[in-house]
Amino acid sequence: MSRPPRRSPRPAARLHLHAQRSKILDLRLMGLERVQFAMLSLEGPDLYASAGGLGVRATELCQCLANLGFPTHLFFVGDPELPARETRFQGNLVLHRWGQWLSARHPRGVYDGEAEKVADYASSLPPWLVENLVAPAAEKGLSTVFLAEEWQTVPAVLNLGRLLAERGLEHHALVLWNANNLFGFDGVDWSGLQQVAGLTTVSRYMKHRMWLWGVNPMVVPNGIPDRWLAPVPEAQTRALREIFPDLLLTKVGRYDPDKRWVMAMQALGELKRRGLQPRLLARGGSEPHREAVREEARRQGLSWAELRLSSRASALEVFDEMARHAEADVLEMCFYVHEDFMRVLYAGADAVLANSGNEPFGLVGLEVMACGGLVFTGSTGEDYARTFSNCVVVETDDPREIVESTISLRSAPALVAEMRKHGRRTASRYLWERVAADLFQKIKFVAAVRGIPLSAP
C-alpha cells in the first residue's frame, strides 16, 4: 500500500472550524440560552474511570459543551486520590467524582465493585442533583438538561424522575438517556425509563437493535475532537516505517471475541504464507480472551513479542523497543499508549484493523480517518463507512476478505491516497461541535413534546 500522506491540511481548515462553532452558538441562542447540562456516566476522564469508548464520549462531549459556553457538570465514578470536585474550562465544566469511598475500596478501576457503585450512584446522586443543581437553577430561570449514559445510570434516572415530580420540578429538567451498546438491556425498566427520559443511541444499527425491546430511540452519533485532525508529525511516521518497511498493520481494542482478534491473527498468518512480511502492532488489554488470541497466533506460526514500557515512555523509547523486536510478527504494546502516539500508529500503518463483528458505533474508525489513516471497519454501527471510498468494510468473518483487500490495495497506491483523503473529510463531519448541533435539535424536540420550556419567556 502507499505510505501515509505527508501533506498538511490547508490553513483554512482552522478558520472553517471557528466559523462552524459560531453557527453552533447561533443554534444555542435559538432556544437553549437558559440551559445548563449535567452528564451522568460511570466512566469519565480519569485513567481509573476510563475503560473504553464511554469514558472518551463523556469527557469529550462535556468539554465541547463547556467550550460552547454552557455550564456543564459531569458526575462519574472517579479516581479516589483526586479532588471530589474539580473545575475546568474557565469554570464552565465541573467534574464531580462520585462515591470515592467506594472507589478507594475497589482500586482496580471503575467497574471494580460495579454493583455497589451502581446502587450508591442511584441512591445518593439524585437527591443531590435535585437540591443542589435543579432547584437553584430553577430559581434563576434556568433549565437543566441531563444526559445519562448506559444501563448503570438507569436506576439513578428513575429515582431522579420520581424526586423531580415530588418537588414539582419536572418542568425545569429534561432527561435524555443514551445507549452506546446492548449491555445490561435485559435488566432495564424500559416502561419506567421512557416515562422520565427521552431515549437516544449512537447509530442506526443500534436504533434497529433496540426495536426488539419495544423502544425507538433517536440517533445522536459519537464525535471526535478537532485535535484528531491536526497534522501527525512526519518525522515520527517516517521513523515508524523505517522500523517496519514492508506491510504494517495495527489493531487496538479489548481482547473480546466481538473485536475479531482471532480473525486478525488468521489474516496475518495467511499474508505471511503469501510471501509478505506483515507486522501487527497490537494494543489489547488483560481480558481472558487474550489467551485464545495468542493460541491462534501460535497455530498460524506467528511469533509474538511483548513490549513493556513505562506509561511515560517517550516516542523515541517506544521506537527503540519496537526496533529491538522488529522481527516478531505480532508486537503487543503492554503499556499505556498515549493519544499522540496512537495517532502516529494510525497514520503510519498501511491499515488499522477495526474489524469488529458487533460495533455499535466504531469510534476507532473515525479516529483513524481523522489522522489520514486507512481503516478496515466492521459492518454494523459504522454509519459513516463507505467501502473503497473512505475505508474498507469487512462484511464477513472470513480472514481471506482482509487478505484479498490488503493485497489489492498494495497495487493501487492512487486509490489508497484517495481513500485516506476521503476519510479525513468524513471525520471532519463528525466533530463534536457538529454532533452538538444535532443533539440540540433533539433536546428541543423532546422539550416540546414534554412541555418543558428551555428558553426565557
**Residue the block writes with cell 504494546:** 333
* The dihedral formed by the CA atoms of 107, 108, 110 and 115, expressed in degrees to the nearest 10: -80
Tell me what pLDDT residue 311 has.
85
31-223+431-450 against 227-428: fold identical: yes
Fold of 31-223+431-450: Rossmann fold (3.40.50)
Cβ distance 62 to 37 under 8 Å? yes
Tell me what pLDDT residue 52 has.
81
Between strands 278-283 and 330-333, the pairing is: parallel
> How far is Cα 372 from Cα 228, in angstroms, rounded to an integer?
10
Tell me what pLDDT residue 33 has.
83
Tell me what pLDDT residue 371 has.
98
Domain residue ranges of the chain, discontinuous segments joined by +: 31-223+431-450, 227-428
Residues sharing a CB contact under 8 Å with residue 339, sequence separation 6 or more, in sequence order: none
Cβ distance 171 to 192 under 8 Å? no
Could you read off the pLDDT of 401-417 as tens digits, one per residue? Answer: 999 999 999 999 999 99
Tell me what pLDDT residue 25 has.
56
Could you read off the pLDDT of 254-286 as tens digits, one per residue? Answer: 999 999 999 999 999 999 999 999 999 999 998
Q: How many CA atoms lie within 13 A of 78 on its CB side?
A: 19
> How far is Cα 333 from Cα 314, in angstroms, rounded to an integer?
14
> How far is Cα 415 from Cα 366, in angstroms, rounded to an integer?
19
> In angstroms, how far is CA 161 from the centroid of its own chain?
28
Tell me what pLDDT residue 12 has.
43
| Phi, psi (deg, nearest 5) at residue 243 | -75, -40
Tell me what pLDDT residue 10 has.
43
Closest CA to 341 of 369, 371, 308: 371
> How far is Cα 236 from Cα 245, in angstroms, rounded to an integer?
14
CATH of domain 227-428: 3.40.50.2000
Tell me what pLDDT residue 382 has.
97
- What cell does 27 get? 443554534
Q: How many CA atoms lie within 13 A of 383 on its CB side?
A: 17
pTM given for the model: 0.90
Q: Is 435 left (phi over 0), alpha (psi -120 to 50) or beta?
A: alpha
Q: How far is CA 228 from CA 231, 372, 425, 430, in A?
A: 8, 10, 12, 11
Show the low-confidence residues of the chain (pLDDT under 50).
3-17, 457
> How far is Cα 254 from Cα 9, in angstroms, rounded to an integer?
32
